[in-house]
Amino acid sequence: QGFAPGDACGWSIAEIIAHFVPWDEFILHDRLKEFWNNKALPQAPDVHEMNQQSAERARKEERSETIGRFIAVRTKLLQEMKKIEASRWATPFLIGQTELTLSSYFQGLIKHDLHHMEQVKQALSTERR
């Protein structure tokens, strides 16, 4: 699906948050628009390269900019998801050779988000000590 949870080991909170942005943009622009055209979806971009680029950007920009970019793209993604008809969530599609449904696809993304949420919580609890 394009996410490698191990990538973020040792990342700052800003780097973790920043890495959601290009993936949300990818889902928004390159996945959601293509789910229904009955063709196998292409594989995601190179995970490590995309994550590395987002981490580098987070190190250079203001924290408020990183957070603002994340909120903006995640809000757009959620707005588009709300437009999906209920019947579509169980419709199978292919990414490469892997058959998924929208429901299973987004369940995987939720697991990914929760994994990073735990990392952020741990980082915050470490900072407070």
Over residues 102-114, the pLDDT tens digits come to 999 999 999 999 9
CA distance 77 to 27: 8
Q: What is the mean predicted confidence (pLDDT) over 77-100? A: 90
Instruction: Name the residue with higher pLDDT: 59 or 126.
Output: 59
| 98 sits in which H/E element | strand 98-101
pLDDT one-digit tens code per residue, 21-41: 999 999 998 888 777 777 777
Categorize the per-residue pLDDT at 73 as very low, low, confident or very high, splitting at 50, 70 and 90.
very high
Q: Could you tell me which residue, 78 or 45, shows the higher pLDDT? A: 78
Average pLDDT score over residue span 41-53:
87
* CB contact at 8 A, 62 and 10: no
Identity (one letter) of the amino acid at 35? Answer: F
User: Which residues fall within 8 angstroms of residue 97, CB to CB, at 6 or more apart?
Assistant: 40
More confident call, 95 vs 20? 20
C-alpha angle with apex 72: 47 to 115, nearest 5 degrees?
Answer: 45
Q: Stretch 70-95: mean pLDDT, rounded? A: 93
> How much is the pLDDT for 129?
56
Q: For position 4, what pLDDT does the model report?
A: 44
- pTM attached to this predicted model: 0.83
For the CA atoms of 62, 65, 71, 72, the dihedral, rounded to the nearest 10 degrees, stands at -160
d(C-alpha 41, C-alpha 37), whole Å: 9
pLDDT at 61 over 90: yes
Q: How high is the pLDDT of residue 3? A: 42
What pLDDT sits at residue 11? 84
